[in-house]
Amino acid sequence: MKSGKRVQRRSRQADGGQPQGVVPTNSKRRSLAKKSAPSKAWTGRIAEPTHQLVERFTSSLPFDRHLFEYDVLGSLAHCQALEKAKILTRTERRALVRGLEQVRDELRENRFPFADSDEDIHMAVERRLTELVGPVGGKLHTGRSRNDQVTLDLRLYLRDHLRTLQARLQDLQRAFLGQAREHLDVIIPGYTHLQRAQPVSLAHHFLAYVEMLERDNARAQDAFKRVNVMPLGSGALAGNNYPIDRAFTAKLLGFPALTRNSLDGVSDRDYVAETLGVLAIIMMHLSRLSEELVLWASHEFSFVDLPDDFCTGSSMLPQKKNPDVPELIRGKTGRVYGHLLSIMTTLKGLPLSYNRDMQEDKEPLFDAMGTVIECLTVYAELIRRLRVRRDVLSGTLGSGFLLATELADYLVKKGVPFREAHGIVGQLVRHCLEHRKEWHNLSLADLKTASPHFSKDALLFLTLEGAVDRKAQTGGTSRKQVTRQMNAWEARLARKA
């Protein structure tokens, strides 16, 4: 059995081949399998069969079915560990492996015979395994509990999906980088408080999102470190009584570390909360992007055109081109935020160790992860095909006094204190507003009326290209700095490909 790479390969098959959230109803299950009574081996001290209402209420099968690949994978590794500990013979281990592989195939191909008694995916797998291989199937659970089994499955799930998340983040970074390279020569109004502030390179603006996404990537990578710890062997809460080599199991599954405390091992869901926090921050960044695209695609701005096939028309208004994708992503942000709050609220009052409340960790996690990966995938394609309205942008740059700070800095270079220069230029702006003028309408005499420090070179100082290229320090919007940043990002993303 290969570790690490095998986990990733198998889980991708599951993600691609199984529709999320689709589980046969009770009536459909009855058509697939005989109605089964609760197993006495599992009822223990409980004398009565579980009430049908409770059975439906407590079932996690509709959502934890997503974990079947990981559940089988963890069980395959556990089989080898049990054989190494001499709890299973080689013949028994081989029988269990064949049975588990058949169970996995049935689940992948949507022909698994679910039973009414299947409380969760773990019980469903073990029940079917025992049907296939006989009583030896009951040996598989030796030395483990569903408590450590489910957190193992979740960690395996997250390990794969965090990798996918990082790949999607990098795809979107590449899309922004392509747009930046194509529009290096385009200047746009930069804004603060949604008021025109200073001219900036459009490429510089696009690279701002590359930076945000890189921090998201780093957060996902950092969360991965805490996910990538193996809890199997923690038992129900106290460990187990068998000589099972946990390090051996961890190596089979590609985990570099083991949980060090069995109580924490079964009750830790920090890694779920942390992942949801990462996802929430990603959605915050995508929502900011959405807001800009909605504004920029509006008639009032008209800075960009969104691809027609990423928009919709109106059922009543024939002229409409609605930015549905950015609006939906902006809306889905609240949904992901809600999932983060849900898990934090679930965990906040739980004593050690495992509590059934923790069953509520999966639906928020699965939905948030699927939502964010889908949003990133859609946005990467939209950004690649975004059309910039160069003509509109060019026509907007002559208004709004974008070069006011340049004029103040000119006076500073002539020896005027900045606060005084700020006041002088502010008076010039007020003069222009009162007389309906822009900077290009001012004469040298107008400037000298405001301050004797103005000379004829002041008018030459007032160019958009000069204003942009003077910001030549690291992090600035000059063409030289932006080109340097683009080259660095291209090399960095190429190494990650």
193 is catalytic: yes
Assign 43 a pLDDT band (cuts: 50, 70, 90).
low
Residues 205 and 223 in one domain: yes
Tokens 């993600």, residue located = 15
Identify the active-site residue in 36, 298, 314, 399: 314
**Domain holding 432: CATH number?**
1.10.40.30
Q: Are residues 383 and 413 in the same domain?
A: no
Paired sense of beta strands 257-258 and 229-230, if any:
parallel
Quick one: 343 and 458 in the same domain? Answer: no
Euclidean distance between the first and the last CA atom of the chain, given in angstroms as a whole number: 27
Q: Assess if residue 245 is contained within a domain.
A: no
CATH code: domain of residue 218: 1.20.200.10
CA dihedral 393, 398, 400, 401 (to 10 degrees): 130
Are 158 and 269 part of one and the same domain?
yes
The answer on pLDDT for 398 being more than 90 is no
Catalytic residue among 27, 31, 51, 193: 193
66 & 193 share domain: no
How many separate domains does the chain show?
Answer: 3
Q: Quick one: 137 and 163 in the same domain? A: no
Q: Is residue 162 part of a domain?
A: yes
Structural domain range at position 439 = 399-496
Reported as a single tens digit per residue, the pLDDT across 206-223 is 999 999 999 999 999 999
Segment 284-333, tens digit of pLDDT = 999 999 999 999 999 999 999 999 999 988 888 888 899 999 999 999 99
Tell the burial category of 8 from Cβ atoms under 10 Å away from its Cβ (0-12, 13-18, 19+). Answer: middle
Q: Do residues 312 and 334 both lie within one domain?
A: yes
| 47 lies in the same domain as 195 | no
- pLDDT, tens digit (0-9, with 9 covering 90-100), for 110-149: 999 999 889 999 999 999 999 999 999 999 999 999 999 9
Q: Do residues 1 and 76 touch, judged by C-beta distance below 8 A?
A: yes
Q: Is residue 147 part of a domain?
A: no
| Predicted TM-score (pTM) of this structure | 0.89
Distance between CA 86 and CA 97 in Å, rounded? 16
In the structure, how many helices (H) and strands (E) does the chain have? 22, 6
Q: CB under 8 Å to 60, separation ≥6 — which residues?
A: 119, 120, 121, 359, 362
Is 342 designated active site?
Answer: no
Encoded tokens for 169: 């983040």
How many beta carbons lie within 10 A of that of residue 110, not counting itself?
A: 11
